[in-house]
Amino acid sequence: MKKVVREIDYSKIPVTLERFKKHVRIAIASFDDDLLSKLKAAFANAENYIGQYLIPSTLTITGDFASVTVPNLIDVRSIKSDGEEVLYAVRGDEILLDKDTDIELVCTAAACDKNKK
């Protein structure tokens, strides 16, 4: 069974709450929770529309693979099988494994984060 888990690091959202409040001209803090939820929803909608992660995230992909295709905006941190590192090759945006392997692939993803380098 293949599974993808995304952990979003909202502390690194590309637009801060303070900047958003300044843009919409709100100076008081009583609306912060509501504004932050709207800001998160706006980024989620933008990510769904463009098909790309904008908020830095950690992706954990598990399953039985011979190869995994990941966009070039994703940094692979580790590929493990039964807790052991797995050797792999990269061809374009595809990660190639020796054979069908039950793996856990951990990577970071975010277009905005990559562009800052």
Q: Which two tokens stand for residue 116?
A: 């800052």
**d(Cα 18, Cα 48) in Å, to the nearest integer?**
24
* pLDDT tens profile 104-116: 888 777 654 433 3
- Asked if 4 and 68 count as a contact pair (C-beta separation under 8 A), the reply is no
Residue 19 confidence (pLDDT): 93
Tell which residue, 18, 13, 103, has the closest CA to residue 57: 13
* DSSP type of residue 10: G
Residue 116 confidence (pLDDT): 34
Q: How far is C-alpha 96 from the geometric centre of its chain's CA atoms?
A: 21
Tell which residue, 48, 54, 52, has the closest CA to residue 12: 54
Mean pLDDT comparison of 15-24, 61-70, 82-91, highest-scoring range: 15-24
Residue 70 confidence (pLDDT): 67
Nearest-Å Rg of the Cα atoms of the chain is 18
Instruction: Give the total residue count for the chain.
Output: 117
| Strand partners of residue 61 | 4, 105
How distant, in Å, are the alpha carbons of 36, 47, 51, 104 from that of 82?
39, 32, 31, 9
Give the mean model confidence (pLDDT) for residues 72-97: 77
* pLDDT tens profile 28-49: 999 999 999 999 999 999 988 9
Residue 27 confidence (pLDDT): 93
**pTM of model > 0.75:** no
Residue 96 confidence (pLDDT): 80
